[in-house]
Amino acid sequence: MSRTARDGDVVRDLLSVAGLLEEPQLARLYAYVHREGPATVKEAMDALDFPQGTAYSYVNRLQEADVLDVVTDEQPREYEAVEIELSLSADHGERMYTVTPMLVDAIGRRDGNEDIDAYTDRHGIAGLATALTYAVARERGEVTHQLMARDLEISPLEAEVILGALRPVVHYHVDVEVEGVGAETVQGTNDS
C-alpha cells in the first residue's frame, strides 16, 4: 500500500517523508527495516551501529511519520516499513519524481558513500531520483553513461561515478536482467 493510498492527505504524506529525504540516518533506518522485513529496534541498532537512544528516537519519529508500523505488541516489538510512493514535481513542475523505498535507500547511503553524497549536493533529491532511473536502465543494458551524461548535461565521468555508486541500490530493489536475458523478459513482455 502506498502512503497516498493509505490516507490521501498529500500534505501529511509530504511531511511524513520529508525527514527521510533530509536526514540520511532516518533514511538508513527506514531502508533497513524495509529490506529486512519485521525487525526489532535492537536488530536495527546492531546492524546500523546506532546508539540505543538514537535508534529508539528514530523508530519513534518514523512511527509518528506513519512510515513504520508495529507488527507485534509483545516485547521486543517488531516493526515493518510502510510502502512509500509519493510523486513530487521539481524545477517549477518541469520534472516529476516519485519518492519510493529505492530512493530513500539511496539517500540513506549518503553518509557512507561520498559519490552519492556529492551528486545529491550538486543535483538535489530530484537529480538523485533521475540518476536512479538511469541506473536501472543502465543495469538492464538500455542506456550508457554517455547517454545519461548527454541527456542530463553532466560530464561522462560524473555519470559513470553515480551509476556505479547506485548499482547496489538498484540490484537490491529491482530485478535486473541476468546475462543473456533481454530486458523484455525481465519486464514480463516476452511471449516466449
Q: Percentage of the chain surpassing pLDDT 90?
A: 58
What pLDDT band is residue 73 in, cutting at 50, 70 and 90?
Answer: confident
pLDDT value at residue 179: 45
Give me the residue spans of the domains in the chain: 3-81, 113-173
Contacts of 24 (CB under 8 A, 6+ apart): 107, 108, 109, 110, 111
Phi, psi of 87 (to 5 degrees): -90, 135
**Do the beta carbons of residue 105 and residue 167 sit within 8 Å?**
no
Q: Please give the average per-residue pLDDT across 114-119, as a whole number.
A: 97
- Position 6 pLDDT exceeds 80: no
- Distance between CA 188 and CA 126 in Å, rounded? 28
Name the residue with higher pLDDT: 15 or 134: 134
- Position 101 pLDDT exceeds 80: yes
- Distance between CA 129 and CA 103 in Å, rounded? 6
- Distance between CA 184 and CA 157 in Å, rounded? 29
pTM for the whole structure: 0.77
Name the residue with higher pLDDT: 92 or 115: 115
pLDDT value at residue 55: 94
Mean pLDDT, the chain, rounded, equals 83
- Position 7 pLDDT exceeds 60: no
Question: What CATH fold (topology level) applies to the domain 3-81?
Answer: Arc Repressor Mutant, subunit A (1.10.10)
- Position 187 pLDDT exceeds 60: no
pLDDT value at residue 190: 37
